[in-house]
Structure 1
Amino acid sequence: MLQVIFSFFLGLVVTAFVGIGVNTFYPEPQFSMGGESSWSQWRLTTSIILLICATAVMLLSLAIADAGPVLANGALLGGLFTMIYAVGMGVSAGAQWSRFAVMTAALAVTVGVGWWKFTRGRRPSVEVAGTTAGALPGEAEVRLSAVEAKLDALGRALRD
């Protein structure tokens, strides 16, 4: 449980680090009357910078996956939270096509990294002696069938 909390907290700290870093090196424009276009451009540019940073952090999480799952998952969460931050900034930008391009890139990166993270190294199930693909061997199959029957009966009882 402590590892999950640490990974989550690491993700939040990474997001704060990236957000503060972006705002430090690319600060908000000064407020002026009628300067909405400068704010819209700043939001769009900030969204793109955050998207690039989020992608880098997510790729870093894939690179350090063998070093340990806690740090890798924390970095992945940090990239995901930063991506959410980038999407939020992009949604508030005014330019429709640019905003759509940022959202498309965010979607592609998120799906790509998720696919790589959760399917890499997975092998289709193979036949084990005496069982078919996906079936459990021996007593486990009988026990699972009994649990399924009890759950079905419980479901019918709750519906009635």
Structure 2
Amino acid sequence: MTAQRDLGQSMLQVIFSFFLGLVVTAFIGIGVNTFYPEPSYSSGSDRDWNTYRLTTSIVLLICATVVMLLSLAITRTGSVLANGALLGGLFTMIYAVGMGISAGQQWPRFLVMAVALVITVAVGWWRFSRRSVAPAPTASAGGVLPGEAEDRLAAVEAKLDALGRALRD
């Protein structure tokens, strides 16, 4: 019963993280459109639209970077929120890349894509490749392990020995 509850809780956390990522992306997208609206269709030339797309892509890239860095900062406080923020940053980065691809200017568009790639790889490396190394146990009076850890290990060994004897009989 506990395993089912744990699985259900884990699934709920994944769903919540994914939904949080979508909401963060929607919030940023709506915020960008609110403060930097699209050019009107009647007066908007291709140049206006390309400038709008490139500028929006850069703003989205900055927002995605901030959200991804925030997810790294809150990783220790709660993995569900940190994962949701990371997904929000990634989804916003995808949005930024899509806007950048649709901009017609070659060099600026390439620069936006290069920055997005570097940020994504750096955040991914920082979040998933770096492992904190646990400090080596300190010596205690009774042996190598500190405090009650040695007593617990001895109890586990005694239980395993008893289980082994019971299975042999």
Q: Normalization by structure 2: what TM-score?
A: 0.71
Paired residue type of 2:127? K
1:118 equivalent in structure 2: 128
1:53 equivalent in structure 2: 63
**Alpha-carbon shift at residue 120 of structure 1 (Å):** 2.2
Q: In 1, distance between residues paired with 2:104 and 2:14? A: 38
**Alpha-carbon shift at residue 34 of structure 1 (Å):** 6.7
Larger radius of gyration: 2
**Alpha-carbon shift at residue 122 of structure 1 (Å):** 4.6
Could you say what secondary structure the match of 2:110 adopts? helix
2:53 equivalent in structure 1: 43
1:9 equivalent in structure 2: 19
1:132 equivalent in structure 2: none
Any unmatched runs of 5+ in structure 1?
124-160
Q: Deviations over 1:78-128 (max 9, x none)?
A: 0000000000000000000000000000000000000000022255xxxxx
Alignment partner of 1:24 out of 29, 34, 37: 34
Q: Deviations over 1:112-147 (max 9, x none)?
A: 000000022255xxxxxxxxxxxxxxxxxxxxxxxx
Alignment of 1:77-116 (within 5 A): 77-116=87-126
Number of aligned residue pairs: give it. 125
Q: In 2, distance between residues paired with 1:34 and 1:79? A: 30
Q: In 1, distance between residues paired with 2:64 and 2:44? A: 32
Paired residue type of 2:96? A
Identity %: 75
Q: In 1, distance between residues paired with 2:43 and 2:80? A: 48
The list of structure 1 runs, each at least 4 consecutive aligned residues, that deviate by more than 4 angstroms after superposition, is none
The verdict on how the C-alpha distance between 1:121 and 1:29 changes in structure 2, with shifts beyond 3 A counting, is same
Q: In 2, distance between residues paired with 1:80 and 1:2? A: 20
2:79 equivalent in structure 1: 69
Could you say what secondary structure the match of 1:83 adopts? helix
Q: Normalization by structure 1: what TM-score?
A: 0.75
Q: In 2, distance between residues paired with 1:49 and 1:93? A: 14
**Alpha-carbon shift at residue 39 of structure 1 (Å):** 0.4
Alignment of 1:120-159 (within 5 A): 120-123=130-133
